Amino acid sequence: MQTGKVALLFSVSWIAGTGLAFAQGQTLTIATVNNADMIIMQRLSPKWEQATGNKLNWVVLEENVLRQRATTDIATKGGQFDIITIGSYEAPIWGKQNWLVTLDDLGADYDYADIIPSVKNGLSFNGKLYAVPFYAESSFTFYRKDLFDQAGIKMPDKPTYDQIAEYAAKLTDKSKEQYGFCQRGKPGWGENMAFIGPMVNAFGGRWFNEKWEPQLTTEPWKNAVNYYVKNMKDYGPPGATANGHNENRALFATGHCAMWVDATSAAGYIYNPKESQVADKTAFTAAPMQVTSNGSGWFWAWSLGIPASSKKTDAAKSFVKWATSKEYITLVGSEAGWVAAPPGTRKSTYDNPEYQKAAPFAKVVYDSIVNADLTKPTKDPVPYIGIQYVAIPEFQGIGTAVGQQIAAALAGQSTVEQALETAQRSTERTMKQAGYPK
Amino acid sequence: MHPKTRERLVLTVVGWLAAGLIFFPIFWMILTSFKTEVEAVATPPQLFFTPTLENYITVRERADYVHFAINSIVISVGATLLATLIAVPAAYAMAFFPGKRTKDLLLWMLSTKMMPAVGVLIPIYLLFRDTGAIDTRWGLIVVYTLMNLPIVVWMLYTFFKEVPKDILEAGRMDGAKPKQEVWMLLLPLSLPGIASTALLSIILCWNEAFWSLNLTTSEAAPLTTFIASFSAPEGLFWAKLSAASTIAIAPILVFGWMSQRQLVRGLTFGAVK
């Protein structure tokens, strides 16, 4: 009996960390998104429940629904959620509002130094960490090695957008439904703008100058969006304004695309022969740059945060610590295979030979994430942080409105210049209403 | 061909076409639920494939369907009973003892349906928070009752108007009190109408997604939140989403099919005098 108690105490203290004392037998409500990594977490979480005596209630929602649901609850202090899955966009904004509990006190054994610095910075506000990273991603270029070899082209380590256009022209064969330039066209701040934002950065543009004045009609924006519309029309798949991440992923996996710039987290899927017909024909390189490499690859981290309205913060901290620890990553490696290990958060994952073996794309992903500096996303100085987004509450609306204008230009309903003029005016209006410059 | 026969044939074809058009999305959803994720997004879409139960197995593993289904049944039936209980006396008063402002009142009631639900999300959420109603079945029953009340009152009002006043008056002459009048005369006479109103209300509650997603987390979450949990911004999910949707609509589909005679009778109630 005594031995059992000691063993239980030992396992609890291992999981909870020495700095955390928490009550057992609590039920926590966790809100999360429906993606492969989160589903693995849900499947493995009974191990944490058994060790701590706590129970988890899962609320799984689509990203945008989750965002609305969680915002309503947190802003009204509803206290419905003890743990929520948030992105790197929300973490600093919600941290600033004091909606989240700080997570700098998870104990020395949590090994904060192991977390990739750019990831930690992305989830902090004023030096305080408001969410811990579950998995992080950047963007890079997926390309078909077999098609490149056939055409006698060698993909550089750091391609430029000019080179990408040149290769796209050579590799497009519409009669075979083979397209050189498959990119997101579906409007939305998290859809087409996630690709266009970093592309504008690479062309030397920025969303706002230091005085928070929108810059959408400047030369870099015009060059970037003209490039995007022209190449999408000439070398992209038909009906591109309906294509988001999922649609392009399916197109690439079924052999219809020669190049695709998108999330590094899709690499595991493209490398999985069960789900992809091009698993053995795909290679990866950095996201394209143009006049600068600053902000040319995006940054996103799905993370776990604890709302300040939760009444069970100690137990919640114990869970977020467990789910984002090195031990958890090892657990996923052994239970679900190393290729499924949550990527992009910890240096130790990339030092692990088993992970390197299972994920040949590991180094390119690591380099992309390390180089994605949210605090220096553009060639010229900016007053904001964020690469494919601007970490202010108004950006969701602004990003989507601009995305709609660009999709209209892509669909041929307006010219690029008209689209950017309209986008500039609507952004100016929104920023004025929000009281910028602050 | 006799012109009458030809007319009948054309009408039959048009009827089948309309029915096919309406049923096609449901048919496609059921078909997709038996495909693999890759087949589900294949272009051109595949009509013939090797069916798999993989999606149903995954859906069953990941969420407790029965828990969600029980919530859906309790909430839909509860809200419908409550709405009918309030609406019957209201519609009775409006149909048989109309005042000067009855028509305006009816129109005003309907106008509450014209406001987008999201406009009152925060006030309702705060009310729910302060009364401890978030994530409770009774909370959702109250919201659904209020949401459907205008339609239920309107429908019952229309059905009650079809009942000849003389019958009720005759009852009154024989000494029936208003309660007896409603219970023993009005309700039996307009039963098909009441049944179809209740059916419609149950269907509306069953399919409602905005309030159920926003006001529940896990305890009181109905099937609409169950479906929502299978939608994803990254990765392929159509086949699993279709499997979840198929089992979510199955009970209401069977229920609707079983009661279609009642529904049609109700909807055509009083159409021919």
pLDDT at position A16: 43
Best mutation target among B32, B124, B234 (most A Cβ atoms within 10 Å) is B234
Out of A40-44, A145-149, A374-378, give the one with best mean pLDDT.
A145-149
- The predicted model gives A162-191 an average pLDDT of 95
- The predicted model gives A172-199 an average pLDDT of 94
Using CA coordinates, name the residue in chain B closest to A75.
B122
Domain boundaries, chain A: 2-130+300-358, 138-298+374-433
Contact with chain A for residue B120, Cβ under 8 A: no
> Pick from A34, A42, A61: which is nearest to B237 by CB?
A34
- Report the number of distinct structural domains present in chain B: 1
- The predicted model gives A275-292 an average pLDDT of 93
pLDDT at position B244: 95
CA B46/CA B53 separation, integer angstroms:
17
Contact with chain A for residue B136, Cβ under 8 A: no
Taking the CA atoms of residue A200, residue A201, residue A205 and residue A209 in that order, the dihedral angle to the nearest 10 degrees is 130
Between B84 and A75, the higher pLDDT residue? B84
Classify residue A25 as left (phi > 0), alpha (psi -120 to 50) or beta. Answer: left
pLDDT at position B234: 65
Contact with chain B for residue A253, Cβ under 8 A: yes
Cβ-Cβ contacts under 8 Å between A and B: the total is 91
Same fold, A2-130+300-358 and A138-298+374-433: yes
Contact between B213 and A65 using a beta-carbon 8 Å cutoff:
yes
Tell me: pLDDT of A7 over 50. no
What residues of B are in contact with residue A78 (Cβ under 8 Å)? 125, 129, 134
pLDDT confidence tier of residue A139, bands split at 50, 70 and 90 = very high
Question: CB of A179 within 8 A of CB of A258?
Answer: yes
A 52-81 residues with CB < 8 A to B? 57-65, 68-69, 72-73, 76-81
Domain with B89, as residue range(s), is 63-267
| One-letter amino acid of A66 | L
Contact between A76 and B125 using a beta-carbon 8 Å cutoff:
yes
Contact with chain A for residue B232, Cβ under 8 A: yes
Backbone Cα Rg of chain B? 23
| Domain-located, residue B150 | yes
Contact with chain B for residue A245, Cβ under 8 A: yes
Contact with chain A for residue B22, Cβ under 8 A: no
> Pick from A35, A68, A78: which is nearest to B235 by CB?
A35
pLDDT confidence tier of residue A22, bands split at 50, 70 and 90 = very low
Contact with chain B for residue A144, Cβ under 8 A: no
Using CA coordinates, name the residue in chain A closest to B120.
A72
Q: Which of A21-30, A64-73, A273-282, A384-393 has the lowest mean pLDDT?
A: A21-30
Percent over 90 (pLDDT), chain A: 75
Tell me: pLDDT of A29 over 70. yes
> Pick from B38, B122, B134: which is nearest to A80 by CB?
B134
pLDDT confidence tier of residue A3, bands split at 50, 70 and 90 = very low
Q: Which of A54-68, A343-357, B98-112, B256-270 has the lowest mean pLDDT?
A: B256-270
Task: Count CB-CB contacts under 10 A for residue B221.
Answer: 26
Out of A274-278, B99-103, B261-265, give the one with best mean pLDDT.
B99-103
ipTM of the complex in this document: 0.81
> Pick from B37, B62, B129: which is nearest to A78 by CB?
B129
Query: What are B163's two structure tokens?
Result: 């009942």
Query: What are B241's two structure tokens?
Result: 């989403």
Percent over 70 (pLDDT), chain B: 96
pLDDT at position A12: 42
Percent over 70 (pLDDT), chain A: 95
pLDDT at position B273: 47
pLDDT at position B91: 95
CA A213/CA B1 separation, integer angstroms:
75
pLDDT at position A185: 95
| Domain-located, residue B102 | yes
- Could you report the per-residue pLDDT of A78-113, keeping only the tens digit for each? 999 999 999 999 999 999 999 999 999 999 999 999
- Could you report the per-residue pLDDT of B186-218, keeping only the tens digit for each? 888 888 889 889 999 999 999 999 999 999 998
Q: How far is B214 from chain A (nearest CA, A)?
A: 6
Please report which residue ranges of A203-253 form alpha helices under DSSP H.
219-235, 245-253
Contact between A275 and B38 using a beta-carbon 8 Å cutoff:
yes
Query: Does the A138-298+374-433 domain belong in CATH 3.40.190.10?
Result: yes
- Could you report the per-residue pLDDT of B156-175, keeping only the tens digit for each? 999 999 888 888 888 888 88
B 176-205 residues with CB < 8 A to A? none
Using CA coordinates, name the residue in chain A closest to B225.
A61
Closest alpha carbon to B270 in B98, B155, B174: B155
Q: How far is A77 from chain B (nearest CA, A)?
A: 9
How much is the pTM?
A: 0.83
pLDDT at position A97: 92
pLDDT at position A53: 95
Question: CB of B228 within 8 A of CB of B70?
Answer: no
What residues of B are in contact with residue A76 (Cβ under 8 Å)? 122, 125-126, 129
- The predicted model gives B247-251 an average pLDDT of 94
Please report which residue ranges of chain B form alpha helices under DSSP H.
3-32, 37-40, 54-62, 65-96, 102-111, 121-131, 137-162, 165-173, 178-180, 187-189, 191-207, 210-215, 223-228, 238-258, 260-267
Q: How far is A245 from chain B (nearest CA, A)?
A: 7
> B69 to each of A232, B141, B201, B246, B254, how far by Cα in Å?
45, 15, 17, 13, 14
CA A231/CA A18 separation, integer angstroms:
56
Architecture of domain A2-130+300-358: 3-Layer(aba) Sandwich (3.40)
pLDDT at position A291: 96
Contact between B217 and A263 using a beta-carbon 8 Å cutoff:
no
CATH of the domain at B105: 1.10.3720.10
pLDDT confidence tier of residue B151, bands split at 50, 70 and 90 = very high
Residue whose structure tokens are 């004025």: A432
- The predicted model gives A378-385 an average pLDDT of 94
Contact with chain B for residue A242, Cβ under 8 A: no
Instruction: For B189-209, give one letter per residue: b (16+ CB within 10 A) or e.
Output: bbebbbbbbbbbbbbbbbbbe
Mean pLDDT of the residues in chain A: 91
| Domain-located, residue B196 | yes
Closest alpha carbon to A80 in B133, B70, B223, B72: B133
What residues of A are in contact with residue B124 (Cβ under 8 Å)? none
Q: How far is A64 from chain B (nearest CA, A)?
A: 9
> Pick from A60, A76, A246: which is nearest to B235 by CB?
A246
| Domain-located, residue B168 | yes
